[in-house]
Amino acid sequence: MSSSDSARDELAADVFRRLSGPGEAPPWAPLEEDAPGLGALIREGLGGILAGPRLDLRTRELATVCMLAALGGCEPQLAFHARGALRAGATPEEVVEAVAQVAVYAGVPRTLNALAVVRPALSLSAASPAPATR
């Protein structure tokens, strides 16, 4: 592993800690043995894209919530990133408003399905928001 890989892995771990609740295992951990390439892809996304300097983590998480809502079929990831958006400094109202934007582009059914996932995720998130720094 090169030093740039190591640095990216540490960035990924840092981003995951900022978005996750206490005791949550990184999504790449269970993949290390069976699908290490997939685990590496997830780490690269977190350590490369989500840790980038041009958007703050709050904005990135709101965009991620919108994309997952529009895709549909990503309920566990949508719940995680809705809570992550709160931890990154977004308000519950902002997360719901971001999901509402999906109706215009991906349709009302996707939006209603996403809201059914987001509402409980937001009410279950008792963690205080993390500082909105990169």
pLDDT of residue 28: 82
pLDDT averaged over every residue in the chain: 85
Name the residue with higher pLDDT: 14 or 64. 64
Query: Quick one: 31 and 3 in the same domain?
Result: yes
The answer to whether 47 and 17 are in contact (CB under 8 A) is no
Amino acid, single-letter form, for residue 35: A
pLDDT score recorded for residue 129: 44
- Asked if residue 31 and residue 61 are part of one domain, the reply reads no
Q: Compute the distance between CA of residue 127 and CA of residue 134 in angstroms, rounded to an integer.
A: 19
Give CA 123 to chain center in angstroms: 17
Q: What is the pLDDT of residue 86?
A: 96
The mean pLDDT value for 5-27 works out to: 81
Same-domain check for residues 15 and 34: yes
- Structural domain boundaries enclosing 81: 56-134
Q: How many domains does the chain have?
A: 2
If asked whether residues 25 and 62 sit together in one domain, one would say no
pTM for the predicted model, two decimal places: 0.80
As a whole number, mean pLDDT of residues 29-40 equals 84
Distance of alpha carbon 19 from its chain centroid, rounded? Answer: 7
123 pLDDT more than 60 = yes
pLDDT number for residue 133: 41
One domain, residues 43 and 62: no
Asked if 45 and 91 sit in the same domain, the reply is: no
